[in-house]
Amino acid sequence: MARQQILRAFKFALAPTQSQEAELRRHAGASRWAFNHALAAKTTAHASWRAQVAALVEAGTAEDVARKQIKIAVPRKPEVQTAWIAGRGDSRAGQDGACPWFHEVSTYCFQSAFQDADTAWKNWLDSLKGRRAGRRVGYPRFKKRGRSRDSFRIHHDVKRPGIRLATHRRLRILRLGEVRLHDSVKRLARLLARGEAVVQSVTVSRGGDRWYASVLCKVSADLPQRPTRRQAAAGVVGLDLGVTHLVALSQPADLGHGPVQLVNNPRHLAAAQVRLRRAQRALSRTQKGSARREKVKKRLSRLHEQLAVRRVGFLHQVTKRLATGFGVVAVEDLHVAGMTRSARGTVESPGRNVRQKAGLNRAILDTSPAELRRQLTYKTSWYGSTLAVLDRWFPSSKTCSACGRQNPRLTLADRVFTCVCGLTLNRDINAARNIAAHAVAVAAPVAETVAPDRGET
């Protein structure tokens, strides 16, 4: 065991009063305004730079030379905040300005939103210059009420904490007072009482018709450096992710209902599809701005939130048992964006079986393969196990797990793998065994960066 400092989020559902909910919406609106204000300052500077570069190019200067000649600094949080303080005004003194109502909400709403705008801008630049892995990040967009998620983040001075637990069912937040919780916070309260956790910030967000508080804490935890005897005895388990079955395991594992090797896909989206379609059709028949439209929108958002909670909750159950039950968990390096790319094609070259491919894309995204790997990444570092990743181009489904012979003629319709060596096995289980045999361990994540979005186990 090694004592380490990790960032860990504890997420709780809130039960605010009507007046408190109004305050939550006011804070979320202030955070959205601050983000747009900071982003507007950045886009204005960027537009000015582009205009001057274009003027030089029209005058005959080479574009690469013009880009280097024009230097316009994009304002960051310190500059944006300084200018905001100077021109914000104050309604209490009758001073008009950009936001004279700033004193009605916590100042941390503005500061955290300015920082979020810096992050969004940096992500776009890093993606543009190839310094950021994954899907390309687009140009930062302004947040619009009704479309962007209502959320805000509040920090505090850890030496004089303004975010603390009043009781096991009440959370005290700066400027909001004590807010009742649906859940008990005894687990977090014990860590705080023993001095093993320090509250850093709280992020309040709205999902459907319910508000959540994600309390970020710096926790002192004894993280195991090696697997336990039980994990070491279990060895390596390979995971083949699919649609017919959510996960195929290279060896049986007890995931809560006895040993299984094929984990059935709960198909959360299909189960909720009827109610979602009815709500969506009801929404399409309403008029914009009407009270009935707002009522139907709340019902539709509530259904989507319930769907998301069920999906991520089931994945937490599976990933924790895998991370705690085996010494090594091996997964595929899936290119999810490529797997779910639309088959629509273009006008000149239209795609085929577009409707069937769209249904397959929905089914793949419903299994949340990226979320499953994200959870395994930090949970394996928490519980002493190791995450191993298979090379993306290794033909795990078409290779015999017994002799290594490949069958390039295998199609998706072939659900049983048969080899000339005599092996006859379920296609997914055969792939899982290949993943377990050929996956390579990856470096453990930095403990300080672990900050899960939802309540983790």
Active-site positions?
A: 240, 332, 428
pLDDT at residue 30 in the model: 97
Does residue 83 belong to any structural domain of this protein?
yes
**Is there a contact between 247 and 240 (Cβ–Cβ < 8 Å)?**
yes
Residue 313 shares a structural domain with residue 379: yes
Same domain for 212 and 237, yes or no, is no
Final residue in a domain of this structure, among 96, 128, 160: 128
Residue 345 lies in a domain: yes
pLDDT at position 444 is 63
Q: Is residue 143 part of a domain?
A: no
Would you say residue 401 lies in a domain?
Answer: yes
> How far apart are alpha carbons 88 and 95 in whole angstroms?
9
pLDDT average per 10 residues of sequence, the chain (457 residues): 86 95 96 97 96 93 91 94 95 93 95 97 95 89 92 92 92 94 92 94 94 95 90 94 93 88 94 95 95 94 94 94 95 89 85 89 93 94 92 91 89 88 91 93 57 46
Q: Are residues 203 and 256 located together in one domain of the fold?
A: no
- Which of these three, 223, 239, 254, is where a domain ends? 223
Written in H, E and C, the secondary structure of the chain is CEEEEEEEEEEEEECCCHHHHHHHHHHHHHHHHHHHHHHHHHHHHHHHHHHHHHHHHHCCCCHHHHHHHCCCCCCCHHHHHHHHHHHCCEHHHCECCCCCCHHHCCHHHHHHHHHHHHHHHHHHHHHHCCCCCCCCCCCCCCCCCCCCCCEEEEECECCECCCEEEECCEEEECCCEEEEECCCCHHHHHHHHCCCEEEEEEEEEEECCEEEEEEEEEEEEEECCCCCHHHHHHCEEEEEECCCEEEEEEEEEECCCCEEEEEECCCHHHHHHHHHHHHHHHHHCCCCCCHHHHHHHHHHHHHHHHHHHHHHHHHHHHHHHHHHHCCEEEEECCCHHHHCCCCCECCCCECCCHHHHHHHHHHHHHHCHHHHHHHHHHHHHHCCCEEEEECCCCCCCCECCCCCCECCCCCCCCCEEECCCCCEEEHHHHHHHHHHHHCEECCCCCHHHCCCCCCCC
Containing structural domain, residue 115: 20-128
Please check whether residues 33 and 46 belong to one and the same domain. yes
8 shares a domain with 39: no
269 occurs within a structural domain: yes
Q: Are 392 and 353 found together in one domain?
A: yes
A 10 A CB-CB count for 267 gives: 14
Q: Are residues 262 and 349 in the same domain?
A: yes
CA 32-33-38 angle, to 5 degrees, is 100
Same domain, 201 and 274: no
393 lies in the same domain as 436: yes
Same domain, 409 and 271: yes
Give pLDDT, residue 158. Answer: 86
Same-domain status, 252 and 359: yes
Domain-located, residue 42: yes
Q: Is residue 138 part of a domain?
A: no
Measured between alpha carbons, how far is residue 41 from residues 35, 51, 73, 88, 96 in Å? 10, 16, 11, 14, 20
pLDDT at position 66 is 92
Q: Which of 176, 199, 223 is the last residue of a domain?
A: 223
When divided into structural domains, the chain yields a total of 3
Residue 455 inside a domain? The answer is no
* Same-domain status, 38 and 105: yes
